[in-house]
Amino acid sequence: MTSQYFINGPEVKQLEAAVAEYSGCAAAVGVSSGTDALLCSLMTLGVGCGDEVITTPYTFFATAGSIWRTGAKPVFVDIEPDTFNIDPAKIEAAVTDKTKAIMPVHLFGQVADMDAIMAIADKHKLLVIEDAAQAIGASYNSRKAGSIGTVGCFSFFPSKNLGGFGDGGMVSTNDDKTAELVRMLIKHGGKDKYNVDHIGYNARLDTLQAAVLLVKFRYLDEFNAKRREIAGAYIRGLSGVKELVLPLEILGADHVYHQFTVRVTDSKRDILQKALKEVGISTMVYYPVPLHKMKVFDGTCEVYGDLSNSLTASKEVLSLPVEPLQTEGDTTYILEHLNKLWC
């Protein structure tokens, strides 16, 4: 505020450099939200009318909404029931001559099976846009989320592992030309705002948000470690509850637990959520309606298979509190009540 440099101030460039280095990417570009990171990435890579983008139906609306806004068609394939991430074994059968890209989502803080996804993409010469909105700091076979595909997209929404005091996002890439075009598109489409090269839009990251994020960035690894610590306590404390299916951490992955999401079997999810609320324990359902069941996508998407895993997950999932400032006493209280409810 003292500098009065509210737009494209030095803090934005400092944050971009920090995230690029941390994620192992050549470049990163700050944008105004995670949604704009997805949309701008698709636009930069030339995805548009007549194209298809394969993605998961089990995610937040912005994933498929950004695809639709380019004029392309979302193509939904099912998830793995134990990780909630897109199932690579079901992707290739959904590839057509219209397929332009794959958009995996690293849901709840765990990176999708990117080796398998990249193999399919390489075989069919497809782009890969990593939706890493929930997974900054997560890794897969020693590579950070957002550094494996063509581009990575992060969100700095306040509740994220690295959250600002408002909206914010970032695009990461190992291609300098891609980064340069992203920088142009978020400034209306040109280096010279009075003589633009492309049709872009206004999607810059505020300097104020960058300043806040730079401070919080120092604590990212510490806070992610705390989330993992809480997750470990949950897994140990709930391993004997047969009605709960605990989250699976895949081999070679470093899960950062943006959410600790269990599955509650035997149609007891809503009963459990109500009982926990009565003793002061807040929980959330991410996500109650798979995207292919949303009215907005009726007739505007393609569905491959029955997507039964996504439908089952929407009826069973429940996310427990997992937050870096959560105390050991908080976690013990939650575990005591969860175990008591099943006795």
Give the type of residue at 272: L
Q: How confident is the model at residue 343 (pLDDT cuts 50, 70, 90)?
A: low
3-state helix, strand, coil in the chain (%, to 5): 40, 20, 45
Q: What is the pLDDT of residue 329?
A: 98
pTM for the predicted model, two decimal places: 0.97
Domains for the chain: give ranges and CATH numbers. 10-217 (3.40.640.10), 220-342 (3.90.1150.10)
Query: 10-23 and 207-217 helices cross at what angle (nearest 10)?
Result: 40
C-beta of residue 285 within 8 angstroms of C-beta of residue 273:
yes
Strand 139-140 versus strand 143-144 pairing type: antiparallel
Q: 9-28 pLDDT, tens per residue? A: 999 999 999 999 999 999 99
Q: 284-334 pLDDT, tens per residue? A: 999 999 999 999 999 889 999 999 999 999 999 999 999 999 999 999 999
- Helix (H) or strand (E) run with residue 341 in it: helix 328-342
What is the average per-residue pLDDT within 72-90?
Answer: 97
Q: 155-192 pLDDT, tens per residue? A: 999 999 999 999 999 999 999 999 999 999 999 999 88
Distance CA 32, CA 12 (A): 11
Residues 6+ apart with CB under 8 A from 127: 45, 47, 100, 101, 102, 121, 149, 150
What is the signed CA dihedral for 156, 157, 159, 163, rounded to 10 degrees?
Answer: 30
Count of other CB atoms within 10 angstroms of residue 144: 22
C-beta of residue 87 within 8 angstroms of C-beta of residue 108:
no
Give the type of residue at 11: E
What is the average per-residue pLDDT within 113-129?
Answer: 98
Give the type of residue at 30: G
Q: What is the pLDDT of residue 342?
A: 76
Q: 320-337 pLDDT, tens per residue? A: 999 999 999 999 999 999
Q: Taking CA 293 as the corner, what is the angle to CA 290 and CA 297, rounded to the nearest 5 degrees?
A: 110
- CB-based burial label for 122 (10 Å; 0-12, 13-18, 19+): exposed
First to last CA, the chain: 56
Distance CA 148, CA 44 (A): 17
Which structure tokens are listed for 198? Answer: 């492309």
Q: What is the mean pLDDT of the chain?
A: 96
Q: What is the pLDDT of residue 1?
A: 86
What DSSP letter does each residue of 164-219 carry, written as one string?
-SS--EEEEES-HHHHHHHHHHTBTT-SSTTS-SS---B-BPBHHHHHHHHHHHTT
Percent of the chain with pLDDT strictly greater than 90:
95
